[in-house]
Structure 1
Amino acid sequence: MFGLYITHPQVKIDAAVPVPEWGLSDVGVARARMAAAKPWVAQLRRIVSSGETKAIETAGILAAPSGVTVEIVEEMHENDRSATGFLPPPEFERAADRFFANPDESFNGWERAIDAQRRIVASVEHVLSTHDTGRPIAFVGHGGVGTLLKCHLEGRPIRRDRDQPHGGGNLYCFRLADRRLSCDWTPIEDWQGWM
């Protein structure tokens, strides 16, 4: 059976609001609703979300077709960037490049990539340790830690070239039996389901 890692789609960027409290934009909500209309969403038997608002909102939209209750795992949050606060998009992209390129170092007080990777891998493995592998599950979270988890599942070093396409709202699928990827990043509204 399959597991998914799903990233939240587009958000309302507001420099006056802490990033973990940003919600989905109208575009993000529309994309999540398009995905929720796909047959694979109704197959989900468990949905586990980061505690950040944008992830919870995405998970809630995806949970409606299957009627499952969203579980919150706070440790699934995005890499901690609170030391710098909001960075304008061009500056953020440069910072993210450094985050992935130097996983053993902190960029201006950010959580190190290796630490964020350990945290997301441990969180997902903890959930899966008691999960019935015959039941599809989705983890809803963020691009940065989602990429770090993907690098781990692929047995590859941390690198940004494994990152999702710009804009968010993507997923990858992995087999629960052996944790091997069965598809690469795909927009949530385009994925056709597990094969």
Structure 2
Amino acid sequence: MTKLILIRHANPAIDERKPAHEWPLSDVGRERSRLLGERLRDLGLDRVIASEEMKAAETGQIVAEILGIPFETAPGLHEHVRPKANWMGREQFEAQVAALLNRPDELVMGAETADEAHERFSSAVQTALERYPHQTLAIATHGTVMTLYIARLVGIEPVAFWKSIGMPAFTIVDLERGEIVTSMNDL
């Protein structure tokens, strides 16, 4: 089995004056990242590769430190591009993301369609897998692109999956079979 562990970043320190891609982890997020690292201890991970966005990079770095394994960031693993997204309430944000996931070929929000985000993210994951072909990798990333990747890989409805993943969360996928091995959303 070729497995890949996809990690959604931990809780950010939300600053309504800044776009989400600039948010670092909160104190709670850092503590939950440590707990996540302990939870992943028995999975035989060899390396953590993270999005270059601060909250995912911090999550990945903390996990790698806990496990004593190499850590790096890589381009293309960042969240769906929405550089000028204004702060919106949870209900409005969830409606926007649901529209993005349900109409993947339309520019619903941000600067790329869901199809474009999926293509970029999938390409970055493939690059990582090819660079480290005999290693078990964890990719620390973001909810929307993680959802797009997993939903298309295993054929599940994306909105329900997106709503189910916490901060942090992880999903192990079997890349050969196109199946979810396990998910953890309860930290």
The equivalent residue for 1:192 is none
Whether 1:175 and 2:179 are equivalent positions in the alignment is no
CA-based RMSD of the aligned residues comes to 2.2
Measure, in 1, the Cα distance between the counterparts of 2:19 and 2:116: 22
- Alpha-carbon shift at residue 108 of structure 1 (Å): 4.2
Q: What does residue range 18-57 of structure 1 map to in structure 2 within 5 Å?
A: 18-38=19-39, 40=41, 43-57=44-58
- Alpha-carbon shift at residue 87 of structure 1 (Å): 2.4
TM (norm. structure 1) is 0.84
The equivalent residue for 2:88 is 87
Q: Report the 3-state secondary structure (helix = DSSP H, G, I; strand = E; otherwise coil) of the residue aligned with 2:164.
A: coil
AA paired with 2:178? R
Q: What does residue range 99-110 of structure 1 map to in structure 2 within 5 Å?
A: 99-110=100-111
The equivalent residue for 2:158 is 159
**Aligned residue pair count:** 186
The equivalent residue for 1:60 is 61
Q: Percent identity?
A: 27
Q: Report the 3-state secondary structure (helix = DSSP H, G, I; strand = E; otherwise coil) of the residue aligned with 2:10.
A: coil
- Alpha-carbon shift at residue 84 of structure 1 (Å): 2.7
Note the alpha carbon deviations across 1:167-193, whole angstroms, 9 max, x for none: 4211111235x163342431274xxxx
AA paired with 1:174? V
Note the alpha carbon deviations across 1:6-36, whole angstroms, 9 max, x for none: 0012111111122111111222222111122
Measure, in 1, the Cα distance between the counterparts of 2:157 and 2:122: 13
Q: Report the 3-state secondary structure (helix = DSSP H, G, I; strand = E; otherwise coil) of the residue aligned with 2:93.
A: helix
The equivalent residue for 1:150 is 150
Note the alpha carbon deviations across 1:58-80, whole angstroms, 9 max, x for none: 01110113323321112110001
Note the alpha carbon deviations across 1:129-162, whole angstroms, 9 max, x for none: 13233x22100000000001102221x2763123
Q: Which runs of 5+ in 2 are unaligned?
A: none
Preserved contact between residue 32 and residue 188 of structure 1 (Cα < 8 Å): no
TM (norm. structure 2) is 0.88
Measure, in 2, the Cα distance between the counterparts of 1:181 and 1:47: 21
Preserved contact between residue 48 and residue 138 of structure 2 (Cα < 8 Å): yes
Describe the shift of the 1:158–1:83 C-alpha distance in structure 2 as closer, same or farther (beyond 3 A).
Answer: farther
